[in-house]
Amino acid sequence: MNIPLRILLLAFIASAQAQTENQVPLTSTTTPTDIWTTLSSRFGDRVLKGAPFAQPCFANSTSAECASVQELYQNEKARTAQASGYTWGQWETCQDTGTQCLLDFAVPTDSAATAGPDSCELGSIPDYFIDVRGPDDVIAAFEFSKETGIPLVVKNTGHDFKGRSSGRGSLGLWTHHLKDISYDPAFVAEGCSDAYPGVIAGAGVQFFEAFQFAEEHNITLVGGSDATVGLAGGFTMGGGHGVLSPVLGLGADRVLQYKIVTPDGQYRTANACQNEDLFFALRGGGGGTFGVVLEATILAAPAAPVQVVIVTWAPTARSTARTEALWGLIGEHVIEWADAGWGGYAMPELALFVTQRLSKDEAAASMAPLIAHAEKMREEGVEGAGAMVLEFPSFLPFFISFMTDAGGNAGAGKVGYSVSLTSRLVPRASFATPHTRSTLLTALMTASALPAPDAPLMIIQITAPTAARPRTSRRGARASRPRGARPYTTSRAWGCGIGMRQGRRLWVTPDAAYLNEADVYEPNHEVSFWGDHYPELATIKMKYDPDRLLDCWQCVGWNPDSERYACYL
Ligand SMILES: Cc1cc2nc3c(=O)[nH]c(=O)nc-3n(C[C@H](O)[C@H](O)[C@H](O)COP(=O)(O)OP(=O)(O)OC[C@H]3O[C@@H](n4cnc5c(N)ncnc54)[C@H](O)[C@@H]3O)c2cc1C
Ligand SMILES: *[C@@H]1O[C@H](CO)[C@@H](O)[C@H](O)[C@H]1NC(C)=O
Ligand SMILES: *[C@@H]1O[C@H](CO)[C@@H](O)[C@H](O)[C@H]1NC(C)=O
């Protein structure tokens, strides 16, 4: 399993060359560098050598460069700005061999991490990246991969929870610098006739840029909870949910058009009127699978005030009974709330609900049971307990207040450690009767009580497109699983140290998970992620990628035996 395929390929290519060069014997100068040299003659200084984020500290732990790495080690923006920067430590490492180049996440300044015998190794970071600037780059990269057998990975921000944007011995196609963004109030997809307000965004645009842009243009865009995830990449291609999704739909629902280079070397436009099969596959079929997207046009909604209701209490007042009471109450009302246009998140000591559909007074009335619950807790003297009803003039100020820290990072803030999670989509039927609700609640409480070295986190995401009206008909239907109303996605994250396979699922739910936030070892993943759509997606995959130049973990049409997965456990 660990024989580096690339070495074999190099030997193969070298022997082919040797034959054309009159049987010149193989020499030790035939190193990987030779292949990469052909790449740099094609791409010049846009070929970047893979270099772990922490490398400067292994080179010289007292240098200014190392001090900067230590300071930014847990910083999402800094990591996403580098080709080799990844959000989660384990996807930089080769988990199977343990080769890596990491600092101590908890104390990045601890010099013990760089003092040991371990040298700094690439792990799963691609050997080289191409800083992609246009379709010709991608076309050439596909040719290169076809000629050399060197695997490709598409890397945008490196947020992936399943290691799909890194890969040992690969060539990374880095889309980060595709930052163009513009607004067309009457965008007509090529070959179509209906006009929609659309934001045309390069694949490298991140949410903090997109939400800022939306604010400046007096529009609203559906995005996720994290400032540095990409707007057009893995998010829309995996489905993409956010607090506005109950009303506005998933990220995938809002794509009007993609511009993409497919692995057969064609630069294509995919929308409801051309390459419809590809358009369908791209909206939920998963990133890194059907081609390299260079640009997406995203349907814009009008700007509107955001109503927020928050219920919380102090971590010092944490108790299982209080969490159970909160989640039980939410379970009773969540369908009614989601149908009224609320989206949000619940955690052990927090519920945050958001809507653009109601006025401030209507919001307070609609959430009266939740607000009363918090008031009662406050009267009982629970530390820090209370409810707040807030109004923000538009989405950006809400997002900045709740979803980012002072540095513009995600509310959860720190990254750079190793993380493992699992998620479940919960069907509407689970909320239908007191019995089904109580079964679900018991399962949630059991799952959230798992022992974990770091604070375990259960997030109940009320972000399914419950009340959204589909804009397009059958052919425009999206490929990802959550078609029916599924108001919850639960996810649970914990630090490294616990075995990667210990994610416990909610057995009361069907085989349905959000592919971007799923267990790495999701069983029955075709059904969990795509349900009935899988066979059709697999056909579309083979049509546009007959040589399987793109392949990623648990992606449509993947080859689980591929050497490219040698670093997975
Ligand atoms: C802190 C955090 C918070 C999150 N919050 C949310 C949330 O609220 N809602 C939500 O839905 N998701 C959320 N996610 C999950 C997120 O949507 C996925 O991780 C997503 O895949 C990230 O896409 P990316 O392009 O930014 O990242 P990458 O890791 O660079 O890419 C992810 C996948 O998409 C592929 N890909 C990326 N760009 C392209 C492209 N241009 N063409 C083809 N394939 C491409 C990659 O090959 C890879 O398979 C969160 C993730 C993190 C880490
Ligand atoms: C490491 O960096 C420091 C600070 O710049 C410098 O003084 C020192 O000479 C460097 N050490 C080596 C081995 O290069
Ligand atoms: C912003 O958009 C809203 C909703 O369409 C509209 O009511 C408002 O007048 C617009 N504001 C500006 C400054 O254009």
- CATH code, 191: 3.30.465.10
Q: Any idea what DSSP says for residue 167? A: -
Q: How much distance in Å is there from the Cα of 61 to the middle of ligand 2?
A: 8
Name the domain count of the chain. 3
**Pocket around ligand 2: residues whose beta carbon is below 6 Å from it?**
60, 62-64
Confidence (pLDDT) at 488: 54
C-alpha torsion angle, residues 322, 327, 331, 337 (rounded to 10): 100
- Do the strands 255-261 and 267-271 form a parallel or antiparallel pair, or are they unpaired? antiparallel
347 with 494, same domain?
yes
Alpha-carbon torsion (475, 297, 294, 396), positive or negative: negative
For atom 32 of ligand 1, which residue has the closest CA? 234
Q: How many CA atoms lie within 13 A of 529 on its CB side?
A: 31
Ligand 2 centroid – CA 417 distance (Å): 27
pLDDT along the chain (569 residues), means of 10: 27 30 33 76 92 95 96 93 95 93 91 82 96 97 95 97 96 98 98 97 97 98 94 96 94 97 98 97 97 98 98 92 96 93 92 97 97 98 97 96 64 72 85 94 82 63 80 57 46 32 49 89 92 95 97 98 94
**How far, in Å, are 307, 345, 358, 378, 389 from residue 365 at the CA level?**
12, 19, 10, 19, 11
Evaluate: CB of 242 within 6 angstroms of ligand 1: yes
Range of the domain at 549: 181-303+531-565
Q: Is the CB of 358 under 6 A from ligand 3?
A: no
pLDDT computed for residue 119 by the predictor: 84
Q: Do residues 557 and 418 both lie within one domain? A: no
Same domain for 71 and 196, yes or no, is no
Of all protein residues, the one whose alpha carbon is nearest to atom 13 of ligand 1 is: 224
Together in a domain, 167 and 48: yes
Question: In this predicted structure, what is the pLDDT of residue 40?
Answer: 86
What's the pLDDT score for residue 429? 87
Distance 393 CA to ligand 3 centre (A): 11
- The reported pTM is 0.91
Distance in angstroms (rounded) separating the CA atoms of residues 485 and 515? 17
| Cβ atoms within 10 Å of 497's Cβ, excluding its own | 11
Q: Is the CB of 154 under 6 A from ligand 1?
A: yes
404 shares a domain with 334: yes
444 and 358 belong to one structural domain: yes
Same domain? For 112 and 203 the reply is no
Reported as half-sphere exposure (CB side, CA atoms, 13 A), residue 492 has a value of: 26
* End-of-domain residue from the set 139, 174, 209: 174
Kindly tell me the burial class for residue 478, based on how many C-beta atoms sit within 10 Å of its own C-beta (0-12, 13-18, 19 or more): buried
Q: Are residues 226 and 275 in the same domain?
A: yes
pLDDT value, residue 38:
86
Q: Name the strand (E) or helix (H) holding 322.
A: helix 320-339
Using the 3D structure, point to which of 128, 147, 174 is the last residue of a domain: 174
- Shared-domain flag, residues 127 and 196: no
Dist. CA 421–CA 480, nearest whole Å: 19
